[in-house]
Structure 1
């Protein structure tokens, strides 16, 4: 086996183990340079990936609807959300500023509309420092002066309640019809307060002569006992 090699700079034949050419005096690189560079590059990629995985997660969290609408910090948005939760407002799909609501309680308050997943709308007023001042649903006060006064669920039926009372009311109405199988219900409306639930609607059904007529109905239900306390059909109270 040859014990010499050729210098890549001056092409002279030199000892195989020489690190410096004895003729041109230039340093000869060893054959592992590319491998070392590759190892260093891979190490850098691993280090960057580890840094990203362990970075502060807040950097990558998308702004909440409250942060976007109010223009507040994450901590301020969290405080607002906590108060909304106190009033059972958890599933909301949109928050919008409404300048028409500004100044309703004092000169510098800011008004917002919070739309729930069910389409209900809660009005919210914040102070200049983005503290919740008032929460209101329709004419009902939910939050004021630092205290929760009521919950949204005190005034809005859940989807389970809607299903339950529609079934019950349909059953009661169908018992009044000449042709229950022809009944077509619509116009459902719901009301709720701390004492009772109100369900309204109409039914189109055939009379004794086969003609379709429309009848209006309204039920009132005691929330505590879940007993029907009033049933008005075509303007006549049937609960005596």
Structure 2
């Protein structure tokens, strides 16, 4: 589940950068994705080691490691407030697409390091704050972000193409929320995707749904084993 969630976060990051800001998708696959994936793997291994150490020290068998990965609010924040604007500003200053992408990539890495240093500096006071502030207050900001990013923005996407979105949403609500059994035991989420695809295909063929311009060409092989990021520190 954690791997799929992180994969979805990476796909979301590359998709938003490419579609909203025109960020080169091939560069993102070759530079942004590998380092992010490696960082997640290393972080999860470190947390796993800490969990084993705690289990040995306490003699407990119910210790679990804290999952590390890409959370949705941070993903949107990095895309819309750091990497994306940095790329757009670099392009506005006359840099070529690849040079601007590398420039934005470097700024993104610097922001991650700065964020880590800030969290490290705040770690000493996190415990007292957690004890003094009610949990509801601590989670309030996350709840607001969740409502804005995870609920409101996807709703706009659904209503942008209601013929497709409402059909899929209805199936999800009926199968996963109302617990209405799906014939033949088909997973509700899978049925929603298939129904949405079929509705879009039929609507496009009948002229009910306008055709969308194709995305920028992408070479899938570039994502299989990218190594450019290992020597991509120069320039920008």
TM-score, normalised with respect to structure 2: 0.21
> Which one has a larger percent helix, Structure 1 or Structure 2?
2
> Which one has a larger percent strand, Structure 1 or Structure 2?
1
Larger radius of gyration: 1
Higher relative contact order (CA 8 A, sep 6+): 2
TM-score, normalised with respect to structure 1: 0.21
